[in-house]
Structure 1
């Protein structure tokens, strides 16, 4: 059993998942404000929130400080599972491609395909949690419900609201991690005195904390700008029911139509600065943590592998 496991993929997945937990928790209040701001459609310039700070001020004025963390448990669960599935799938598929093609490195096109395939796997597994966390974050401060109650509202199929856009947005991490990997390879090549050898017993080469943070910020910025209109549509579709009883859009075309009718072209990029700030910080922090703990995770996985192999031998000997 131990021999059959893909330990390198498990290392990548575990490191990514831990990084996701830390970054999600640290930046969650900003994420809540951003999501509530994106979900609101301003009719002819009139709306509850003029900017991101208005959302924060609402929580402070109502003394609902804890509400800035509403849905954190669900978001952390979703982040941990999604990053574990994504990094495992991405690492496994990348090495599978190299084995089948015989190439020494993954080209840009192949990297995009592999990243997109990993993204699709992730979306199909975590979409209900993604929808639930969005509903919790966009609920009125102090009125957020629990995970089970949130998912139980309406039909279960509604837990997959925005699935089509989520699948479309697999292009976002695909672009992000492709840009990151390409930049990472260039940086590591320049570190001639630290070139890693093809030895399974040695720990994988890693970036410095600053380099990982910088490359993560650059790669996520590129991906966010290219996919932002779809990101905002997804938030609108997955948001909680509006307090005034008005109907929220149920499809991407409905969301696009609502934005165009009420806000015009600028509406497609409403909250872009907040999205970039949050996602760049989150992604850069995630990748920085992942790179820094990858050696420790690798050593831990090797120790676990030896333990399992020893246990299996003992069982067979008896």
Structure 2
């Protein structure tokens, strides 16, 4: 099995694990990000409202889209990351640095690899998250869309490909900056343990990818959360005759939110994100590492 196929397959496993663990937290985050100020007293009020008014299955509303789409997205992330890492490793090997095979990359090399992974991922994650957010925020009693495919069909028929890629500027800014930090943090922690214990990557305890993934997740959200909020606002703006379009552009969205709601709006919904992050990101890296070890034996 080729290295690329292994990377993509293991990435898919990580993506599926991420969605199953993180989806309930994500819907609370999105509802809080996109609601008017004062709608919810906090994350527990939001979660309680969803449970009371829509039932427990509502926490997995729109899951089909991320289950398929995020699986592909995380597959692309890891595929692009490992591809970039191999290029840097080859360069290191040619210069006689980076240890055996040049595989010990510098922080800059890991950061750039993460940026590349984020940008590659953003091409798919933009429309996937747009559809997911539309489904998560629509009325439960009078839904606009019957499901993900109906949402894709209606948005595309009315607005074309640009409609599906609404909020893409914010998405690419989020993915590039966030995944640069995300993979830098995780890979540096893996390097640290390998050097400290003088072991191979496949000898690291399965507990540690969970812990390192949790740390990487917190580093990711520390960088991207305000950008993510703007992305969510852009992706839920317009498409509704009752509300119209509030924002002319991504920059206009930033200015309007700052002027009308203040700086606190940029961190609204952060609570469920911080709770979700260690579980979802720990599951992602555990799924990836486990799948890679199994595939290495094939």
State the TM-score, normalizing by the size of structure 2: 0.87
Following superposition, the deviation at residue 63 of structure 1 comes to 4.2
- What is the aligned partner in structure 2 of residue 155 from structure 1? 159
Cα RMSD of the aligned pairs, angstroms, is 2.1
Alpha-carbon separation, structure 2, partners of 1:245 and 1:167: 26
Matches of 1:206 and 1:264 in 2, distance apart?
48
Q: Is 1:171 paired with 2:177?
A: yes
User: Counterparts in 2 of 1:202-217, with a 5 A limit?
Assistant: 205-217=202-214
Q: CA deviation at 1:295?
A: 1.2
Are the structure 2 counterparts of residues 85 and 264 from structure 1 closer, same or farther at C-alpha, using a change threshold of 3 Å?
same
Partner of 2:216: 219
**CA positional deviation for 1:75:** 0.9
Structure 1 residues 190, 9: CA separation in 2 closer, same or farther (over 3 Å shift)? farther
Residue 41 of structure 1 contacts residue 262 of structure 1 at CA under 8 Å; is this kept in 2? no
**Deviation of the 1:263 alpha carbon:** 2.1
2:11 pairs with 1:16: yes
Number of the residue aligned with 1:50? 41
Cα distance between partner residues in 1 of 2:19 and 2:285: 12
Higher helix share: 2
Number of residue pairs aligned between Structure 1 and Structure 2: 282
Residue 67 of structure 2 corresponds to 76
CA contact (8 A) 2:19 2:70 kept: yes
1:14 CA displacement: 1.5
Instruction: Name the counterpart of 1:191.
Output: 197
2:134 matched to which residue of 1? 135
The Cα of 1:35 is off from its aligned counterpart by 0.9
Q: Distance in 2 between matches of 1:63 and 1:121?
A: 36
CA distance in 2, matches of 1:27, 1:243: 32
SS of match in other structure, 1:208? coil
Cα distance in 2 between the residues matched to 1:29 and 1:69: 6
Any gaps of 5 or more consecutive residues in structure 2?
Answer: none
In 1: Cα distance, 2:180 partner to 2:33 partner: 23
Distance 2:241 2:275 in 1: 28
| Structure with greater Cα Rg | 1
C-alpha distance in 2, partners of 1:82/1:8? 18
The correspondence of residues 1-318 of structure 1 with structure 2, limited to 5 A, is: 7-42=2-37, 47-101=38-92, 102=94, 103=97, 104=102, 105-142=104-141, 143=143, 144-151=145-152, 152-153=154-155, 154-156=158-160, 157-169=162-174, 170-192=176-198, 195-196=199-200, 205-239=202-236, 245=243, 247-249=245-247, 251-300=249-298
